[in-house]
Chain A
Amino acid sequence: MSLFGAHTLQRKLLAVVLLTTFMAVIFALGAFIFYDLRVDYRNFVTDMSTQSELLGHMTAPALNFDDKQLAIQNLNLLKIRPTVKAAAIYDAKGNLFASYQSAGENSDFPQQAETNSTYTNGNGISLFRSIVENNTMVGSVYLRADYELLGKIAGYLSIALIVMLLSTLVAIIFSLPLQKNVTGPILDIAAIAREVMQGRDYSRRAKKFSDDEVGTLVESFNNMLIEIERRTQESEKSNREIAHEVQKRSVAQQEIMRLNQQLEKRVQERTLQLETTNRELILAKASAEQANQAKSSFLSSMSHELRTPLNAILGFGQLCASETLPVTAEQRKEFIVHIVAAGKHLLLLINEVLDLAKVESGTIALSLEPISVAEVLKECETMIAPLAEARSVKLTFPENISLQVMADRTRLIQILLNLLSNAVKYNREGGAVIVLCVMQDHRKIRLTVRDTGPGLDERHVAQLFQPFNRLGQEGGTEEGSGIGLVVSKRLVELMGGEIGVTSTVGLGSMFWIELPSVAVGLMTADEMTDTANLQSEVTAIKRKAATILYVEDNPANLKFIQKLVGFREDIDLLTAVNANLGIELARVHQPDIILLDINLPGLSGNEALGILRRDARTAHIPVIALTANAMPKEVKEGMERGFFNYLTKPINIDDFFTSLDAAMQFSREMRLNKEFGRSEVKEKAP
């Protein structure tokens, strides 16, 4: 093991050569020795056999003539053959006749002769040979000789040893140059490989000496080195990239840590903010609870306020309807006046409450547009003048105002009327109301309503914009919901303005609103003219006869409209109690206008409108909605759906007739167009 394991290639080769040589020599010598010994032994046996024959022949006379001395003399001649250790002559009867032993030999002889035979015993042989003379066996020769096998083997071995030593020497001498040829290149490769391993220098190459397997090995080794060099370079490149990546990641990590710190800082800030917000929320909650409380008190107040006019209506109504009481016609008329007044008040209250609800819920729709202040003030003056006159309050409105504000016209008038009516109502007898309009720093217009009333102290001012707060007027004679100012405040704020009050007890109060201003001259002269023309035309068609179809399931409403239309002699009225009947009547009678309730049993008003619009016989007829669905959203949707107009209950009689006239005018035009050509109609139809 150590011979092949721990030694160099050179030694291994040498070992192989020597082993081969040894084996060859050993086998050759072994075979030779074996053969030679065999031949020698045969020769020895033959020699001994011959010896005994000769001896027998020579001894025959001694036997013949019974001459022991002669026999012994003959036997003694064997002294010249030291290998013969003992010999004997036996007579014809097989008895021992004469014997011989070499010096130092002392052994027994066989008692009886045997026939021709050869024995091998130990180192030697013993043999019997018959002595035949004249065809007669005269006796036997016995011969025992040592065959010196060990001595011969020792001799052979010494020769073999010498031969082996010589052959080893020769093998070594001959194998040295051979080894140089074979192992030289391999050792070269090994040396290069070791250097490459130690020095990590993959640019080294082994030299190629021959084209044999070693040459191939060198080539393969060099190719392997090339491959390793390439891989190493790639690996180094990859390592550099990884290092770069690591650096980038480290930077990114630092960035992340920085961001984390920022985030923590931000979280702290946010936490602080949240705590602040929480505190605010707690405050807001308290405020909300307060508001809730206010709403509860508001509801009870409203209930009371609504009951008051209803009491009047019901009471006076019962008086009118009574047949037992002695009521005069004049008294009846007076009762009815009271009923109408109370109804109006009730309507006002409901409208205001609804307005407030809308404002509070944020569902109110404002259409902001440039509005002429002068126009609005003029309208308000007209409306408030009767009341002021009744209270002997002098009104003073500004002259020659050319300012415009961005506001919802209706709502602005509502606000101004609320302020004006308050100013008139809570004024002293013979007092004055002064309205001012001032431009504030080019962007806002301030409208001021000043009265000469008792004025308000600070506590009252603070509660002024709370609902149903009538500031000690609860038990007073003045009618009012107490929510007018609340609604006004909300509306002004929704229009992007402000409302406020300054008051001095005993001198009076000054309410003001501020609204965004608009550049002057937006409304052109043409528009003004158009409006005038339209109004004249509307009055012109009032004389034309027309048929109106009214679809309504409520008999009270039907009766009311019948009475109302009864005032107009130029209008015929058809009625239907459901939509299907209404549609049939419309197809048959071709009315000029259709009045349509929305909440109808079965087919709804909206669906009926769709059917009417799709039917060519009725598509041209203007349809006016007449419904209690008074929400602005519903109104807007109705108009979009294709109603000519959308009137809400309770019906404003003036609006009703205005709308009716407009529809009749439109119907007339449609009819004229229809006579000229249907195509034009189609284009105009929605």
Chain B
Amino acid sequence: MVKPCVLIFAWLLLFFPVQPCYSESSSTDFIGVADFQVKAAYLYKFISYIEWPPNTFPNADSPLTIGIRGADTMANELSKIVATHSINGRPVIVRKLASADTLAGINILFVGIEHRETYAEIMASAKGLPILTVTESEDALSRGSMINFLMIDGRVRFEAAPKAAKQCNLTISARLLGAAYRIVGEAS
């Protein structure tokens, strides 16, 4: 009997912006439901802190494309977000990628945890391209990812590898780094 009530409440939260509750119990209750949403929002917010090489966008209103492999729920969620938002007048497009799809025209590449085994390949394909790669598994950074979502104390956090980004001519804002849970490769 408990579970149906929680679900109903969660749905209510989705459609009606009510004041969030920071109580420990309620936070744990939401994790499973909110993770992909949080990640979608974070992914979208990352755009503001990333600096692409100057020739990446031909016009000021050239769309920014986020390519997503796997993680469909999150891709759907992100699609909802970008449908109503733009970054400094620049429209954002969410494209679901299949394994055969090229990475051309992709500015941000999110790889879902289901493609965890092929991270290295995917990263390698993106290597040298000005594509911000974002992943959601523990050791993703060591495999060439630039930003990786973590679950710390039940909350979505992220770690970053600004060096890896630099290699792809991408600059991650220090402010974003300030918010990162962990920065990898900076010391090396």
B49 contacts A by Cβ under 8 Å: yes
Would A93 and B19 count as touching, CB distance under 8 A?
A: yes
Q: Which B69-127 residues have C-beta < 8 A from chain A?
A: 85, 87-88
Residues in chain A within 8 A of chain B (CB atoms): 58, 60-62, 64-67, 70, 93, 95, 133-136
Q: Which of A58, A62, A64, A135 has the most CB of B within 10 A?
A: A64
Could you say which of B55-63, B133-141, B171-179 contacts chain A?
A: B171-179
A166 to B29, CA, bound (A): 75
**B156 to A, closest residue via Cβ:** A66
By a CB distance below 8 angstroms, the chain B residues around A64 are: 42, 45, 48, 179
- Asked if B20 lies at the interface with its beta carbon under 8 angstroms from chain A, I say yes
> Which B residue sits closest to A95, measured CB to CB?
B19
Nearest chain A CB to B168's CB is how many angstroms away?
21
B4 sits at the interface (CB 8 A):
no
- The docked-state distance in angstroms from the alpha carbon of A141 to that of B7 is 34
Residues of A within 8 A of B54 (CB): none
Alpha-carbon gap, A394 to B121, bound state (A): 240
Given known contacts A93-B17, A93-B20, A95-B20, is B179 in contact with A65 (CB within 8 Å)? yes
- Residue B158 is within 8 A (CB to CB) of chain A in the complex: yes
Q: Give Cα A349–Cα B157 distance, bound, in whole angstroms.
A: 200
Query: Which residue numbers of B lie inside 8 Å of A, CB to CB?
Result: 17, 19-20, 38, 42, 45, 48-49, 85, 87-88, 155, 157-158, 173, 175-176, 178-179
A489 to chain B, nearest CB (A): 179
Q: How far is the CA of A64 from the CA of B179 in the complex (A)?
A: 9
In the complex, what residues of B have CB within 8 A of residue A136's CB?
85
5 contacts between A and B (CB under 8 A): A64-B48, A65-B157, A65-B179, A67-B179, A135-B88
Nearest-neighbour CB distance to chain B for A116, whole angstroms, equals 21
Separation of A133 and B173 alpha carbons in the complex (Å): 14
How far is A70 from B176 in the complex, measured between Cα atoms in Å?
11
Given A67-B179, A134-B87, A135-B88, 15 further pairs, Cβ under 8 A: A58-B178, A61-B178, A61-B179, A64-B42, A65-B45, A65-B157, A65-B179, A66-B38, A70-B178, A70-B179, A93-B19, A93-B20, A95-B19, A95-B20, A134-B48
Whether A133 and B48, one on each chain, are in contact in the complex, defined by CB atoms closer than 8 angstroms, is yes
9 nearest A-B pairs in the assembled complex, by CB-CB distance: A61-B179, A65-B179, A61-B175, A64-B45, A67-B179, A134-B48, A70-B179, A95-B19, A62-B179
CA distance A62 to B85 in the complex (A): 20
C-alpha spacing A70/B182, complex, angstroms: 12
Residue in contact with A60 in the complex, picked from B17, B85, B88, B175, CB distance below 8 Å: B175
Q: How many residue pairs between the two chains, A and B, have CB atoms under 8 Å in the bound complex? A: 37
- Bound-complex Cα distance A134 to B50 (A): 13
User: Are A61 and B49 in touch, CB under 8 angstroms?
Assistant: yes
Q: Whose C-beta in chain B lies nearest to the C-beta of A91?
A: B20
Contact indicator A66/B155 (Cβ below 8 Å): yes
Residues of A within 8 A of B88 (CB): 134-135
Q: Which residues of B contact A58 (CB under 8 A)?
A: 175, 178
Query: For residue B175, which residues in chain A have a CB less than 8 angstroms away from its CB?
Result: 58, 60-61
CB-nearest residue of chain A relative to B41? A64
For A95, what are the chain B residues with a Cβ–Cβ distance below 8 Å? 19-20
How far, in whole Å, are A135 and B48 apart by their CA atoms in the complex?
11
Identify which of B17, B20, B158 contacts A65 (C-beta below 8 A): B158
- CB neighbours of B176 from chain A (8 A): 61
Q: How far is the CB of B138 from chain A (nearest CB, A)?
A: 19
Nearest to A67 among chain B residues (CB) is B179
Q: In the bound complex, how far is the Cα of B155 from the Cα of A95, in angstroms?
A: 19
Interchain nearest-CB distance for A91 vs B (Å)? 8
Residue picked from B38, B45, B155, most chain A C-beta under 10 Å: B45
Q: How far is the CA of A257 from the CA of B182 in the complex (A)?
A: 146
Q: Which of B49, B155, B173, B176 has the most CB of A within 10 A?
A: B49
| CB-defined contacts of B20 to chain A, threshold 8 Å | 93, 95
CB distance from A626 to the nearest CB of B (A): 182
Q: B42's contact among A60, A62, A65, A70, by CB below 8 Å, is which?
A: A65
A62–B178 CA distance with the chains assembled, in angstroms: 8
Which residues of the other chain, A, contact B42 by a CB distance below 8 angstroms? 64-65
**Chain B, Cβ-Cβ closest to A138:** B45
Within 8 Å CB of B179, what residues of A? 61-62, 64-65, 67, 70
A465 CB to nearest B CB, Å: 180
- A95 and B22 alpha carbons, distance in the complex (Å): 11
CA distance A61 to B20 in the complex (A): 19
A497 CB, min distance to chain B CBs, angstroms: 179
Residues of B within 8 A of A135 (CB): 88
Q: What is the CB-to-nearest-CB distance from B63 to chain A, in angstroms, rounded to a whole number?
A: 16
In whole angstroms, how far apart are the Cα atoms of A95 and B38 in the complex? 18
Give A173 to B40 CA distance when docked, in angstroms.
82
Across the interface, which residues of A come within 8 angstroms of B38, CB to CB? 66
| Min distance, Cβ B107 to any Cβ of chain A, angstroms | 16
B34 smallest CB distance to A (angstroms): 11
What residue in chain B is nearest A74 (Cβ atoms)?
B178
Closest to B45 in A: A64
Bound-state Cα–Cα, A58 to B175, Å = 7
Q: How far is the CA of A67 from the CA of B152 in the complex (A)?
A: 12
